[in-house]
Amino acid sequence: MVHPDLRVKIGPMELKNPVLTASGTFGYGKEFSSLIDLDLLGGIVVKGISLKPREGNPPPRIVETPCGMLNAIGLANVGLESFLNEKLPWLQGLNTAVIVNIYGHTVEEYGAVAAGLSGVKGISAIEVNISCPNVEQGGMAFGTDPDMSAKVTECVIKEADKPVIVKLSPNVTDIGKIAVAVESAGADALSLTNTLTGMAIDIEKRVPKLANISGGLSGPAIRPVALFMVHQVVKSVKIPVIGIGGIVDYRDALEFLIAGARAIQIGTANFVNPKASLDIIEGLRMFCQENRIGRIEDVIGTLKI
């Protein structure tokens, strides 16, 4: 029996396996700790942190759609200070990579959050959210413009002492252009995609189902879109790419790995099946065993065209 090596390298960072939980779908990790062994994960990307606490958008904030859901949470979070004092110490006790997702209203604010995480132990990388569709300032406004994407990236890199992953928006005409701009600005890796902007209407009341009017679509509904964008970006850049978008089982994960993603993130599936990430890790292990593949790295980027 082969014991496949599931370790992957994302730039300077090594993960014990390629399965991460996506920001905003896994809280600060603790929420799932009584249900699964978090140490088995490749890593946890925590809920997006801003300089100051954010209360988020008015409800209703979520609505189910075919094979997916729309959310307009609005980056509700405890803020940098509370994160460092109240959330991080618990996360530091885990034996898995902790990646902190950050968000700012301005370029400088992104830098300030990165600076606040500088010198802090127990953080494997920073993921920069330039792609949230549910906030008025910052977020997607940066992520849809190559120059602004590069500026935010540069500012974070200047302040950060950890690998920097930039999370891209799918709500663009040419994601390859943004990816190249962010790579040129010095990012260590890319993660994609964030949610697709969408809306749903209550036909009886003739009002939007979300108080925010629009929200971010996630779940299996977006998987083919996200997969194609990963394919495009992998062709455009040399830095590692982390695939995200509607992955619910190991077969979905393999699609992204074969397309060239070096790791994947599990998002909405965590809500449906809290054990989804662990099931996927186990599924990848079995797939490698059955196909006599010694290292998961040997699957990555093996797409034949």
List the catalytic residues.
132
Q: Supply the minimum distance, in Å, between the C-beta of residue 66 and another protein.
A: 6
Which range binds another protein by CB under 8 A, 30-38, 108-116, 164-172, 199-207? 30-38
Take residue 149 and report the two structure tokens written for it: 């994407």
- Contact between 219 and 67 under an 8 Å Cβ cutoff? The reply is yes
CA 147 to CA 165: how far, in whole Å?
Answer: 17
**Selected binder of another protein within 42, 45, 50, 71 (CB under 8 A):** 71
**Selected binder of another protein within 8, 17, 20, 32 (CB under 8 A):** 32
- Contact between 155 and 162 under an 8 Å Cβ cutoff? The reply is no
With vertex at residue 249, the alpha carbon angle to CA 34 and CA 221, rounded to the nearest 5 degrees, is 110
By CB under 8 A, what part of segment 218-277 binds another protein? Answer: 219-220, 248, 268, 270-275
Residue whose C-alpha is closest to residue 21's, from 242, 301, 293: 242
Q: Supply the minimum distance, in Å, between the C-beta of residue 118 and another protein.
A: 26
* 214 contributes a contact to another protein by CB under 8 A: no
| Cβ density class 222-259: b for 16+ within 10 Å, e for less | bbeebbebbbbbbebbebbbbbbbbbbebebbbbbbbb
* 81 contributes a contact to another protein by CB under 8 A: no
Q: Supply the minimum distance, in Å, between the C-beta of residue 125 and another protein.
A: 21
What string of H, E and C letters represents the secondary structure of 60-125?
Answer: CCEEEECCEEEECCCCCECCHHHHHHHHHHHHHCCCCEEEEEECCCCHHHHHHHHHHHCCCCCCCE
**Selected binder of another protein within 12, 14, 37, 67 (CB under 8 A):** 67
Residue whose C-alpha is closest to residue 269's, from 261, 258, 260, 280: 280
Which range binds another protein by CB under 8 A, 65-73, 120-128, 187-195, 290-298? 65-73
Q: Which of residues 72 and 130 has its CB atom nearest to another protein in the complex? A: 72
* 59 contributes a contact to another protein by CB under 8 A: yes
* 205 contributes a contact to another protein by CB under 8 A: no
Q: Supply the minimum distance, in Å, between the C-beta of residue 142 and another protein.
A: 23
Q: Is the peptide bond before 18 cis (omega within 30 degrees of 0)?
A: no
* 204 contributes a contact to another protein by CB under 8 A: no
Which range binds another protein by CB under 8 A, 25-33, 130-138, 192-200, 254-262? 25-33
Residues found near another protein in the complex (CB under 8 A): 24-27, 31-32, 34-35, 47, 53, 55-64, 66-69, 71, 73, 76, 219-220, 248, 268, 270-275
